[in-house]
Amino acid sequence: MTIAAVSPRTGLSELAVSNVSRVFAGSAKSQETIALQDASFTARPGEFLSIIGPSGCGKSTLFNIIAGLDTPTSGSVAINGSPIVGQQGHVGYLLQKDLLLPWRSVLNNVVIGMEIAGVPKTKAREIAMPLLEAYGLGDFVNHRPDQLSGGMRQRAALLRTILFNRDVILLDEPFGKLDAQTRATMQEWLLDLWDDFQKTVVFVTHDIDEAIYLSDRVIVMSPRPGRIIADLPVDIERPRKPGIVTSTEFITMKASILALLHPSNNQEVSP
Ligand SMILES: Nc1ncnc2c1ncn2[C@@H]1O[C@H](COP(=O)(O)OP(=O)(O)O)[C@@H](O)[C@H]1O
Ligand SMILES: [Mg+2]
């Protein structure tokens, strides 16, 4: 599939998050929630970076800040060195809750980013159709989202995010609700998509295997107030086969992430 013909490879953007904190004010001082504390990391151009951490540690808050839907209490976010705090439209963002519009067909959902950007409807469809076909949704373009399986809906939502055509893509637990088999298929599909489009991807998950399998680097967060407690390179060559989950490198890395996420169980998980 000559995807480059419809969407030029970009992905040459770097995302830098520097000392970002977010405090949600309560009605009294004691009710303040420190959702995120002093988070810093850089996603290099074309890198696949995962963030893993317990529920409530500020992962979605961090994404909302990067996407300009929320502003940090302190800290900065930049793409290729230019500050983007408080500005929307610089990144593609797949929210935790997939927000396909139920009254629109799959095709009309997928082209919505281009529509907002002012691309004429026929042109937008011309661009989207080969992709929908290449990624297994060709027979479903006129279906409504509720007529699709969970995996297909997520594929449509991912394609829509990609077609928003930004170099940096944020994916917030996109496969969290899928069964194990569908999830495995979706992971392969996402790696193909990443390979085809060469985006810089930041991927939130609570699944350690998924984080390691997909990523160039894994960032581990502490429970609330969410802090980054580790930033670990995944030294496993690509392309990766599902069988690598039993390799020594994989298991060693999984043990270190488990130990970071559950420090009280260290003795049980340390090799
Ligand atoms: N708009 C908000 N107002 C007040 N508290 C919030 C708001 N959004 C998130 N929080 C709180 O911030 C913390 C982090 O939330 P969130 O970023 O959704 O965590 P995660 O995505 O890691 O599960 C939670 O305690 C949550 O209740
Ligand atoms: Mg979340």
Which numbered ligand comes closest to the C-alpha of 97?
2
Q: Which of 45-49, 94-98, 206-210 has the lowest mean pLDDT?
A: 94-98
- pLDDT tens-place string over residues 26-59: 876 678 999 999 999 999 999 999 999 999 999 9
Q: In Å, how far from its chain's centre is CA 61?
A: 13
22 lines ligand 1 (CB under 6 A): no
- pLDDT tens-place string over residues 138-192: 999 999 999 999 889 989 999 999 888 899 999 999 998 888 998 999 899 899 8
Long-range Cβ contact pairs of 148-151 (< 8 A, separation 24 or more)? 148/106, 149/182, 150/177, 150/178, 150/182, 151/178, 151/182, 151/185, 151/186
| H or E element in which residue 163 lies | helix 150-163
Residue 16 has pLDDT above 90, yes or no: yes
- The domains found in the chain, sorted by start residue, are 3-258 (3.40.50.300)
Average pLDDT of the chain is 90
Cα gap 103→98, rounded to integer Å: 14
| pLDDT band with cut points at 50, 70 and 90 for residue 215 | very high
Helix 150-163 and helix 121-134, axial crossing angle in degrees, nearest 10: 130
Residues written for the chain: 271
Residue spans of beta strands (DSSP E) within 152-213: 168-172, 200-205
pLDDT at position 263: 83
Q: Which of 24, 34, 50, 220 to mutate to test the pocket of ligand 1 (most atoms within 8 A of CB)?
A: 24
224 lines ligand 1 (CB under 6 A): yes
61 lines ligand 1 (CB under 6 A): yes
